[in-house]
Structure 1
Amino acid sequence: MLSLGSGGAKSSKPSFVSYVTPEEIKLEKDPQKKEKHPDLLPGEVVFCGANPILKYTQDDLSQRGVFGTLLCTNFRVTFISDDAPQEEMSKTFKNKLYGENDIPLMCVDHIYGVYDEKRKLITGGLVKNKYPSKMIIHCKDLRVFQFCLTFTKEEDAKRIFQGITHHCLEEKSLKCVFAFSYSRALNPDHGKSSRKFLTRLDSKSEMLRKREAIMFDSPEDWTQEMKRTKAQCRLVTENENFELSQRLPQYFVIPSALGDLFSYQGKGLPIWCWSHHSGCALFKASFPSMTQEDGDFQSHLDTMITAVARNYLYSVKTEDLSESLPTLQDIQQSYNKFKQFFLIDNATDFWLSDVKWFSSLESSGWLDIIRQCLQKAVEVVECLEKDNTNVLITEEEGTDLCCVISSLAQIMLDPYYRTLMGFQSLVQKEWVAGCHAFLDRCNHLHQKDKECHSPVFLLFLECVWQLVQQHSPAFQFSETYLTVLSDSVHVPIFSTFLFNSAHHRESVMKAESPIAQSRPLSCPTVWDWSVQFDSKAQNFFFNPLYSEKVKHERTVRRLHKPKHQRQLSLPSTAFKTPPKKGFFKDETDSLKKMLRVKRISRWMGSPDSPVVASREFYESWQQRPLDYHGLLLPSLDGPSVRIWMQRYLRWIPEVHIMGGGSVAIMTKLMELLSQVEDLKHVLQQRDPSLATQPDHPPPLQQRLPSFGSSGRLSSSFPFTYSNNRSFKPIIPTGLMQSLMVADNLANQEDEAS
């Protein structure tokens, strides 16, 4: 439409308005293309597809995008662009299982439909109605996809919309998860060749186990860990066939003084986590069974505490985490509020939310929950390191917040768990073998019971990230490794995060085995990173600034071996050797009084509160020389607890810093380290005696990933790369008008002068 203005005079501004988008013009000119299919994984089957589908780009409200084919398989929702991908081929950090336009079914969080320009959350009732004009998918890794269905035939649009919502949102059986189809496709069905293949697979998995992680699924693994930490406890093998309880691991460690295990009915057993070099240890336990009478319940509880107390010096401190930390429902609600600020549909919504960014984050309470968990872990560390007392942490099931606090305490105390292999072994020990209910907490099957859903494992990774960003040289693994691990929880291929307990895993794997009555099905573990990434991409998992420990000679190490004399602050009766076997029976009342007084949670208000005491403990630790291979404590004041920038902001282009951010800092530090090593090499050539240091770490160039030129990288590297789109911020109308007024005033003053 062309308007000439009033009186037939020419308009000073062009007034041409096009009611046809460039995409529609392209669609009219180009004939409809055939549906494309991706490279399917073993066992992957396409359920439905539609073409053409317009995928919007996340830039502004102009709704630009690219045309392609949208498919739904038993593994993912995938979009295949009609244009040849150029940026994807040049990536050095690329996932083998899925690309940037793929969404694993377990990764889908919510689906919204746009009806008459109004966004509605898709539920079972809306699926039966007419299909929406636009479909918006929010992912658990915080990606946002928008697909336009108006250019597609009505039958195809209905089929793809109903297919995606059904396979992503409806409740499903565990047998429908893609991991079983994938594993059965990799394993031959029957015959001698299958047995040979499984033998080779077992030998390969055994090699990966020795190289990557300790699985803690055998008595040898637990014995090795007890020997490493010099634990004076007892290994339990009576539950190998789950005769004790289906809620307990196959193998676990308990205090040596614990009596009949069958009387506990699988509840209230103090399970060993880790031993301090002084002799005290950390234990976790669920609440004893409430089916007993009140007197039996209290007697059971006292027996459990007494058994822990006999581990070392007859002293123990207990902590009920259900009283001192948020509930699972509080954690779920807080994270739901928190993640909404990162699920951005377009740039305009981002700038509108940016106006009240900090107040919104504060109101969600997520960072405060992270701070509370770190604070509680510091209190546990203080009891073990300073007071030299046993610690028993409890909660209802003993597999949620107990796993968070025990794992954080071990990372702060033991430098082995700050290495890549050590951290993976810690997750395997405390979470996987410790029977954390990953299936229920992560809601892999989209169950309607919201009470059991809670991102507990993500909360743990958040706390670990706080330690990594505060003490980077102390950790062998990088921030990228933690981000990839958080994404891998929702990839339906690995058995690591797919079950609620060891018994659940064993029973399902045996039932789904393709070889009847032979051996259980074998699924890959998440620690086999070669399934997802090649060797070059795995280099990004390692922290190039990691300060490796240089081993000294034994004579030097003996001279600096610390002697523990902190136990002088404990009651003198705690150090007396029991005169006879009936010591606990004769002096039960006095021991109970001593044990009950020693509780961690004597909450705020008094000078003896844990917060005040932990503050003194932290300040005294700060005064010591920094040792990245010794005790490590987090700072919890003010802005020290930060947002996990890489995980939450990597998909929002408006916050990307081209050639800046952590990539620029890392590149500069690597240049400085390279210069330092060159100087060391020159000194070694002049003085050969300097080159004979034992266990010297390899050259820096062999330990660093190839970042390339930082000028073409953004702060979200290595997950997103620079592209040709403009990064000019799109400011909301209100802010734009205020800025324009200021600019006009400035220009008017210049013109007047």
Structure 2
Amino acid sequence: MATGGGGSGHGGAGSAGNADHHKRNTFTSYVAPLPGDLRATADTNEWCLPSDLRDVHLAKPRLLHGEQIVASAPAYMYSPIDPMDSSGGSGSTLSAISSASGTPADRHHKEATFGLLSVTNFKLAFVPLHEKRNQAITAPLIDLYQENTYLGRNEITLNNIDHIYTITELGRAASALQAARGMASHAGMSRRKKLEPFKQQNISGRIAALHIVCKNFRLLKFAFQQQDSKMFGASDQGKLIASALVRFAYPMRHDLSFAYAHREPYYSTLGASGTSMYATKNDWARELIRCGATEWQVVSCASVQLLQNPLQAGKYTVPPHFVIPKSCSVDRFLDLSRAFCDSRAAFWVYSYGSSAALVRLAELQPAAQQDTKSENVMLELVRKCDAGRQLKLLQLTDRLPSIQDVLRAYQKLRRLCTPETPEKFMLQDDKYLGLLEKTNWLFYVSLCLRYASEASATLRSGVTCVLQESNGRDLCCVISSLAQLLLDPHFRTIDGFQSLVQKEWVALEHPFQRRLGHVYPAQPAGGNAELFDSEQSPVFLLFLDCVWQLLQQFPDEFEFTQTYLTTLWDSCFMPIFDTFQFDTQAQRLKAVTDSQLVLRPVWDWGEQFSDKDKMFFSNPLYQRQRGDLGAQAAAVAHRRSLAVGSKGAHGAASGVTPSRNTINPQLFATASSVPQDRYLQPAHRIFDLQVWDQCYYRWLPILDIRGGGQPQVDLYHRLLLSNIAKVQRCLDYQNFDDLPDAYYEFAGESRPNQHKDEKPDKEDEAEFVDGVERRRKPTAKAATPTSGLTSVTGNLQLSTLSSFFPFGNPIAGDAPLQLYDILSSSSELLMETSSFLDKSSIV
């Protein structure tokens, strides 16, 4: 604590530097620094790095091909919310932080992590200075959690950054670390300001801390040393980082994205996958055949002479391939489509039963709304494709929220999920349900499920359903995708779901670039940033939340898990993959032609994750449909694409393998192969819905429940599946030496020959190999026999897992060797049948 006079500084300050004394700040702080706020020696009043932290510049982030560091600065990284424990609650922390009496800060508060904060043209990366030393202790635990090939645990892509707030220091006594916690020791000493993406602001005062709010509900908090450092060549490290973030996190052109600089070659492993990309005419033709839609035809823009004329092509914004009524000529259809927004006339997407079709249709353009002739003609063409000549128009604009409503609900929900201080968290927690209701997020989820159920019921009754929306590219995608999930079990598989997203969202051109805010176009002088916000809207997240609700209500009907859905949302902000980066296919092709962009589909999960991580994408209790042996065999053949990687898969079903020749749907059977008895009827009342805690709360350590939540249940299911796989293997080979421990625990017996070669009294003895001391690997000891299935988890120590597993922070515990055994054993059954109940020997 500084004890010198108000104007003279420390006693030795004058003798240390009289020459430049007029350049120094002579203010002396009487507030004791928090842990980590270390002062310099007694001869100066400047902030400086401790001697053991001066090599922070060596903690550089790992760079990808084409990635460059823009700015770096030493910084402290804080947890978004301090976890509550018995040693000290948030209240004691708050009182200690806000104390201005000069007493030391709360000792129970977890200290920040010191390291190097870097901004590149791809990410914001924080590398702890002593990462290697800490990694020796936590590496086995970190491996348990999802690890991305391109991103570390303390790294986020620039695409993921939504809001940047600066905590500006207005007085010398303001503590950077207090500002990082969202507080100040004295009133008026710090100010929180949002950096706008469209202009460079003049930041007055030193930046003590940065709060970064991410689109995937993550809150990052960094504090900076306030010093005149020659090591990094800047007097204000916070301003250096903030300026770099404003410049690179809000690109005004899409070609400024890192995807254009990352020229690393891509070698696809999706050849054996069952995911249909809907990038060719044959992909759509196969879907017509599968659905038995005989009254519809596929149109490719490349084969339409009108769309090849540069003077005429600019009048239409149709996708490269689309399906229209067979009774209408292509030229007439295109002529009618000009009256609709974005040229989105009636596009077929799905058929159910004999002839009931699901159709997407945009609204008339404002200039043509007075004359509904084009709309009536288009609806009559769709009606002719229905055998019963019936049609139901489901107007979504009046029934569902607008994209601006979805954005406002998302922002309110994110503010509720990203409190900045424990105090704010406690205030929100007292009235959490009321605040959650005011967000309207669950209300919008309820509406989407309701009208998706209505659309699916219409198709089940044999009536064609037309979904109409302003542009036919936003909420039409949500309702259409959900309706197909409710009706068709194929889309509940991993490959089927990915095909559904490709068809409804990518091929039919949902504007991901504008809705997810990948590009911030320049605004005119005096423009308002809210004008661009009207284009942003997380419609895709709304859809994923609806799918998650279905997973909770029908846990054995979906092959994928909530971890898969959460990972899919994170992948929307990975610019390396083009799936969610463009508005139209024309933009994607232009980027390939003009900028040599390397296209990588996000569905090639092996590019991002290891086989261990991909195992958590598969639901161990998924029930595949029975009776359709062909579809089941095809799905089993494609399981390796996610269970253990696609390198081991051989061949594919004839109905999925791409063909060199154009498929004519008329030459194939007209009957639909879609099962009619596997539809779902979800509960869509708000009372029946839940909060997607894994996606929204995973970055809040304060909400973590050790050994609780759905991950605990899922791991227990995998443990049962692992034991069943071991028993099945023992039965197949008539070798019972590898029976699981649960068998002996339940039977109250000891494993035969378990002490044959063991020497318990010497298992901790050291041995020397080439002069290096090595210790024997501890051998697993037999568990004490207990009764019931509760003893199965005796050696596993499932309580060490996070309730947000495989996300969140690692929790202390034993090495996860047994978890790897569970994953590898359970994946055998997942690859073969996708469910242990399908095993004839088990049933």
Q: Shorter-chain-normalised TM-score: which range?
A: 0.7 to 0.9
Preserved CA contact (<8 Å) 2:209 2:238 = no
Q: Distance in 2 between matches of 1:56 and 1:628?
A: 53
Same amino acid, percent of matched pairs: 31
1:130 aligns with 2:211: no
Match of 1:234 in 2: 297
Give the letter aligned to residue 57 of structure 1: S
Q: For residues 40 and 88 of structure 1, do their structure 2 counterparts lie closer, same or farther at Cα, with a shift above 3 Å needed? A: farther
Q: For residues 273 and 293 of structure 1, do their structure 2 counterparts lie closer, same or farther at Cα, with a shift above 3 Å needed? A: closer
Q: What is the Cα deviation at residue 283 of structure 1?
A: 0.4
Q: What is the Cα deviation at residue 56 of structure 1?
A: 2.0
Post-superposition Cα deviations, 1:551-588, rounded to whole Å, max 9, x if no partner, equal 4789xxxxxxxxxxxxxxxxxxxxxxxxxxxxxxxxxx
Post-superposition Cα deviations, 1:261-301, rounded to whole Å, max 9, x if no partner, equal 2312452521001010222110001124444584xx42211
Give the letter aligned to residue 162 of structure 1: S
Preserved CA contact (<8 Å) 1:549 1:629 = no
Q: For residues 504 and 685 of structure 1, do their structure 2 counterparts lie closer, same or farther at Cα, with a shift above 3 Å needed? A: closer
* 1:19-98 → structure 2 map (5 Å cutoff): 19-25=32-38, 27-30=49-52, 32-35=54-57, 36-50=59-73, 52-58=74-80, 59=82, 61=94, 64-84=111-131, 85-86=134-135, 87=138, 90-92=142-144, 93-98=146-151
Match of 2:609 in 1: 533
Match of 1:180 in 2: 260
Give the letter aligned to residue 281 of structure 2: P
1:646 aligns with 2:694: yes
Match for 2:566 among 459, 462, 483? 483
Preserved CA contact (<8 Å) 1:472 1:546 = yes
Give the letter aligned to residue 413 of structure 2: F
Preserved CA contact (<8 Å) 1:315 1:389 = yes
Q: For residues 71 and 670 of structure 1, do their structure 2 counterparts lie closer, same or farther at Cα, with a shift above 3 Å needed? A: closer
Match for 1:257 among 327, 332, 349? 327
Secondary structure, in 3 states, of the residue corresponding to 1:393?
A: strand
Preserved CA contact (<8 Å) 1:268 1:301 = no
Q: For residues 723 and 685 of structure 1, do their structure 2 counterparts lie closer, same or farther at Cα, with a shift above 3 Å needed? A: closer
Preserved CA contact (<8 Å) 2:442 2:686 = no
Preserved CA contact (<8 Å) 1:264 1:289 = no
Match for 1:457 among 518, 540, 550? 540
Preserved CA contact (<8 Å) 1:212 1:424 = no
Match of 1:544 in 2: 620
* 1:571-610 → structure 2 map (5 Å cutoff): none
Q: For residues 88 and 155 of structure 1, do their structure 2 counterparts lie closer, same or farther at Cα, with a shift above 3 Å needed? A: same
Q: Distance in 1 between matches of 2:53 and 2:700?
A: 34
Preserved CA contact (<8 Å) 2:224 2:237 = no
Preserved CA contact (<8 Å) 2:117 2:127 = yes
Match of 1:743 in 2: none
Q: Distance in 2 between matches of 1:280 and 1:380?
A: 11
Give the letter aligned to residue 406 of structure 1: S
Q: Distance in 2 between matches of 1:222 and 1:427?
A: 14
Q: What is the Cα deviation at residue 135 of structure 1?
A: 0.9
Match for 2:432 among 344, 357, 382? 357
Post-superposition Cα deviations, 1:342-366, rounded to whole Å, max 9, x if no partner, equal 1122333222211111100001111
Match for 2:280 among 218, 237, 243? 218
Q: Distance in 2 between matches of 1:496 and 1:284?
A: 21
Secondary structure, in 3 states, of the residue corresponding to 2:261?
A: helix
Give the letter aligned to residue 637 of structure 1: R
Q: Distance in 1 between matches of 2:303 and 2:694?
A: 41
Under a length normalisation based on structure 1, what TM-score does the superposition of the two structures give?
A: 0.74
More helix by share: 1
Secondary structure, in 3 states, of the residue corresponding to 1:134?
A: strand
Match of 2:799 in 1: 711
Preserved CA contact (<8 Å) 1:474 1:629 = no
Secondary structure, in 3 states, of the residue corresponding to 1:69?
A: strand
* Structure 2 unmatched runs, 5+: 3-29, 40-48, 83-92, 98-108, 169-188, 229-234, 522-528, 631-674, 735-794, 814-843
Q: For residues 500 and 553 of structure 1, do their structure 2 counterparts lie closer, same or farther at Cα, with a shift above 3 Å needed? A: closer
Q: What is the Cα deviation at residue 550 of structure 1?
A: 3.6
Secondary structure, in 3 states, of the residue corresponding to 1:634?
A: coil
Match of 1:432 in 2: 506
Preserved CA contact (<8 Å) 2:443 2:686 = no
Match of 1:406 in 2: 480
Match of 1:667 in 2: 715
Secondary structure, in 3 states, of the residue corresponding to 1:214?
A: coil
Preserved CA contact (<8 Å) 1:231 1:279 = yes
Give the letter aligned to residue 351 of structure 2: S
Q: For residues 547 and 31 of structure 1, do their structure 2 counterparts lie closer, same or farther at Cα, with a shift above 3 Å needed? A: closer
Q: For residues 553 and 218 of structure 1, do their structure 2 counterparts lie closer, same or farther at Cα, with a shift above 3 Å needed? A: closer
1:119 aligns with 2:172: no
Q: What is the Cα deviation at residue 708 of structure 1?
A: 6.3
Match of 2:790 in 1: none
Preserved CA contact (<8 Å) 2:253 2:520 = no
Secondary structure, in 3 states, of the residue corresponding to 2:570?
A: helix
Under a length normalisation based on structure 2, what TM-score does the superposition of the two structures give?
A: 0.66
Preserved CA contact (<8 Å) 2:802 2:811 = no
Q: Distance in 2 between matches of 1:667 and 1:257?
A: 54
Preserved CA contact (<8 Å) 2:53 2:129 = no
Q: For residues 675 and 158 of structure 1, do their structure 2 counterparts lie closer, same or farther at Cα, with a shift above 3 Å needed? A: closer
Match of 1:574 in 2: none
Q: Distance in 1 between matches of 2:723 and 2:676?
A: 23
Preserved CA contact (<8 Å) 1:474 1:628 = no
Match of 2:380 in 1: 306
Q: Distance in 2 between matches of 1:553 and 1:33?
A: 63
